[in-house]
């Protein structure tokens, strides 16, 4: 049974099974996620999540990042996870079911802090959670069946939490059963005009995964077989699942790569399928202004975004994508992301503020955007993310640029220095330079920490802006 196999994998995976490159990649993702969290510090859904978590105080619990308040691990996973996810700037994995595997990190850190886990154990747990979630996403698409990708999250987060909390194999099996039975999420989260819940959907899944571990640790059992049962996950939610060997799993005749190495860090705070669109739009803007002058955008008559089916379904189909009223809709909109890149020559977290959403010049440019399918892109996804943009002007010129592998993709990796720069940019105004340096130094030394809670004080923000 799959749940038995997952529980056994969780129990047997050792730090020594992790190649040095995987250990380093985990550190990169932790730093990237902490930066995303600090950048979202003032966001309303994150405030709400934090207020709920702050209502419960547990002296030996898990810290709400940016504060000195400790609460239940599951509530900390929810609040901190919302911070990581809000800006849509954390990492991504693209397969049959797209996902954001760094969404697991807040859950692992919350459970790890409460358990006084070492940095090495946290690194194991993060690598494990990535492997499980990504391989589930490889195995079956949930989106066409009406379920949200976060439905895989309770499994991966529960396994990560079980690892740092040192559950037995039998307890871990029950945590998997409990995580799967009651946490199926509707795809409506990502359809039409997107709400605040988009930032909280996975952090809620992770909260449920941690909660399942807390119950299983105390002896609670869950229904089984959770995957193969008559009314189980495969029959009602995912369809058949067959998972190949995991990284570090025994039984393979040759080493199996860990999936974290195949995931993507974001350069821009937009849905991942729009990363190449933004890169292409910025390249075209440079050529356009160089050729037709500073007023060239006023002469644009047509903007064609050529893409592939999955990207179009997610960020280029619904009418709301041409009339975004919320940040959540705008950063999941081909028309908005391309238009704002053309207009401003940059895309930052401020590109999605309310004043920008209402900018009449930007709205006029959005109306000129068409999203079309490119048949030649069909077989290239998900190995590549090709986007071809064509901008036509009154002068009769056509500007074309295609981007395939955005910065941060496994084929075009960000350097450690670039990840540090991204962290500093997002942490500006929350931490001073000395504190930023301290966080960066601690993360690079994560495997040397005897207790992961040592990381929490350096994240504390003196006051909420």
* Each residue's pLDDT tens digit, 159-168: 999 999 999 9
**pLDDT confidence bin for 408, thresholds 50/70/90:** very high
Integer Cα distance of 390 and 300 in angstroms: 11
pLDDT > 80? residue 254: no
User: For residue 125, is pLDDT > 50?
Assistant: yes
454: its two tokens: 């040592």
Q: Write down the pLDDT at residue 3.
A: 96
pLDDT digits (tens, 9 = 90+) for 168-201: 999 999 999 999 999 999 999 988 888 999 999 9
pLDDT of residue 278: 97
Separation between Cα atoms, residue 307 and residue 284, nearest integer Å? 16
| pLDDT per residue as tens digits for the range 425-460 | 999 999 999 999 999 999 999 999 999 999 999 999
Structural tokens at position 122: 């946290």
- Bond from prior residue into 77 cis (ω within 30 degrees of 0): no
Rounded distance between C-alpha atoms, residue 443 and residue 449, angstroms: 9
What are the chain's domains? 2-267+420-459 (1.10.4100.10), 272-403 (3.30.1330.120)
Category of 248 on φ-ψ map: left (φ > 0), alpha (ψ -120 to 50) or beta: left
The Cα–Cα gap between 194 and 329 comes to 5
Length of the chain: 465
How confident is the model at residue 248, as a pLDDT?
85
H or E element, residue 244: none
| pLDDT higher than threshold 70 for residue 463 | no
Q: Which two tokens stand for residue 433?
A: 């330079």
Q: Where is average pLDDT lowest: 77-91, 133-147, 181-195, 243-257?
A: 243-257
Other CB atoms within 10 A of residue 430 CB: 22
Q: Which one, of 130, 206, 214, 122, lies nearest residue 452 by Cα?
A: 122
Query: Facing residues of 370 across strands?
Result: 304
Compute the Cα dihedral for 107, 113, 117, 118 and give only its sign: positive
Per-residue pLDDT at 465 exceeds 80:
no
pLDDT score for 22: 97
**78 closest CA partner among 176, 157, 188:** 157
Q: Is the pLDDT of residue 266 over 80?
A: yes
Which of 70-84, 110-124, 249-263, 326-340 shows the lowest per-residue confidence on average (mean pLDDT)?
A: 249-263
Q: What is the CA radius of gyration of the chain?
A: 22
Omega of the bond leading into 382 within 30 degrees of 0 (cis): yes
């Amino acid at each position: 049974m799959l749940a038995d196999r997952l529980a056994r994998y969780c129990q047997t995976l050792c730090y020594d099974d992790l190649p040095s490159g995987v250990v380093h990649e985990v550190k990169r993702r932790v730093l990237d996620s902490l930066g995303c969290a600090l950048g979202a510090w003032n966001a309303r859904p994150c405030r709400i999540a934090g207020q709920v978590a702050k209502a419960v105080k547990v002296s030996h619990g898990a810290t709400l990042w940016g504060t000195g308040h400790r609460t239940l691990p599951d509530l900390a996973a929810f609040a901190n996870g919302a911070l990581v996810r809000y800006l849509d700037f954390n990492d991504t994995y693209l397969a049959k079911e797209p996902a954001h595997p760094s969404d697991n990190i807040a859950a692992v850190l919350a459970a790890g802090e409460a358990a006084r886990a070492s940095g090495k154990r946290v690194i194991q747990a993060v690598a494990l959670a990535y492997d499980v979630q990504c391989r589930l996403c490889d195995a079956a698409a949930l989106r066409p069946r009406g379920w949200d990708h976060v439905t895989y999250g309770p499994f991966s987060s529960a396994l990560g939490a079980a690892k740092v909390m040192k559950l037995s194999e039998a307890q871990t099996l029950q945590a998997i059963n409990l995580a799967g039975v009651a946490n199926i999420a509707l795809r409506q989260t990502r359809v039409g005009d997107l709400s605040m819940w988009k930032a909280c959907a996975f952090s809620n899944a992770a909260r449920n995964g941690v909660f399942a571990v807390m119950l299983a640790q105390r002896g609670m059992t869950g229904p089984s077989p959770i995957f193969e049962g008559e009314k189980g996950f495969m029959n009602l939610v995912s369809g058949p699942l067959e998972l190949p060997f995991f990284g570090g799993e025994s039984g393979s005749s040759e080493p199996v790569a860990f999936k974290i190495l195949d995931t993507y860090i974001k350069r821009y705070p937009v849905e991942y399928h729009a990363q190449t669109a933004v890169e292409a739009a910025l390249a075209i803007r440079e050529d356009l202004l160089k050729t037709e002058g500073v007023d060239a955008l006023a002469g644009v008559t047509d903007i064609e975004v050529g893409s592939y089916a999955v990207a179009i379904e997610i960020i280029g189909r619904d009418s709301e994508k041409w009339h975004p009223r919320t940040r959540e809709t705008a950063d999941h909109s081909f028309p908005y992301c391309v238009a704002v890149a053309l207009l401003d020559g940059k895309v930052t977290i401020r590109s999605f503020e309310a004043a920008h959403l209402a900018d009449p010049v930007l709205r006029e440019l959005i109306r000129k955007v068409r999203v079309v399918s490119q048949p030649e892109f069909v077989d290239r996804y998900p190995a590549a993310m090709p986007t071809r943009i064509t901008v036509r002007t009154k002068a009769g010129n056509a500007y074309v640029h295609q981007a395939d592998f955005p910065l941060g993709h496994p084929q075009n990796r960000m350097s450690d220095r670039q990840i540090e720069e991204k962290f500093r940019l997002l942490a500006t105004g929350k931490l001073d330079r000395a504190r930023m340096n301290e966080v960066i130094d601690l993360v690079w030394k994560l495997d040397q920490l005897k207790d992961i809670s040592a990381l929490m004080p350096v994240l504390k923000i003196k006051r909420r802006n």
